Amino acid sequence: MKLKIQLYILSLWLLFILLFINKVKIPLCFSDCKFIGWKNLFLDNIIPTISIVIVLLGFIFYFRFKYIVSGNKSLPEKVTNIENINWEHLTFLVTYVIPLLSFDLDFNLDEDRNSLMFFLVLIIIGLIYVKTNMFYTNPTLAILGYHIYKISTTKRNNVIFISKDVISEDDWIEHKLLSDNIYIANKSKKNESRRT
């Protein structure tokens, strides 16, 4: 469950980078300039500050994810059937991330309560994302070079695999369970020995 929540936060990485770019207010001055102070700078940039914190958390969670998936893997299994389902990254991006950018986050709760609604929507999406095991549809992982496959092997049928490798039928893969029927996989060294 903890890994799913961390991957959900990582999936929002793009959203918070775009929010930072959209909302950051940097005071510009060309003559007779004076620093406005850290407090005023922070108060003018609450959303960008929250965005940067979440982006930094995303970095931490990504390196934690890499550490978790680098651990022991299973014995190699041969891929008997494969379907590339990378399009599911785009589904998450278009369905959730892009519409969230339309919120006007000015923290003026008396006016339309946009910021409150934004964070409530993020929490609801997060609950759905974690409860339905859709954490693998992560657009950030796609940007970082991961692929999603629905694979059948000699021992399993129609299982979701996340991999940095491009996998094809008849390849041998090693995998590690992430949750339920979702695994992280990479090509086995057995592939190399077959080629030589």
Summarised one tens digit per residue, pLDDT across range 108-141 is 544 556 677 778 888 888 888 888 888 788 888 8
pLDDT of residue 192: 54
Q: Please give the distance of CA 137 from its chain centroid, rounded to a whole number.
A: 8
What b/e readout covers 123-153, taking b as 16+ CB neighbours within 10 angstroms?
eebbeebbeeebbbbbbbbbeeebbbbbbbb
User: Which residue type is seen at 185?
Assistant: A
Query: Model's pTM, two decimal places?
Result: 0.75
The tally of domains found in the chain comes to 1
Find all residues with CB under 8 Å of 116, minimum gap 6, and list them: 109
The H or E element spanning position 77 is strand 77-84
Give me the mean pLDDT over the 32-60 stretch.
Answer: 83
pLDDT tens digit string along 63-112?
988 888 777 678 889 999 999 888 776 676 666 666 666 666 555 544 55
Q: How far is 156 from 78, CA to CA, in rounded Å? A: 10
What is the domain extent for residue 12? Answer: 2-195
Cβ–Cβ under 8 Å, residues 58 and 143: no
Contact call for residues 13 and 55 (beta carbons, < 8 A): yes
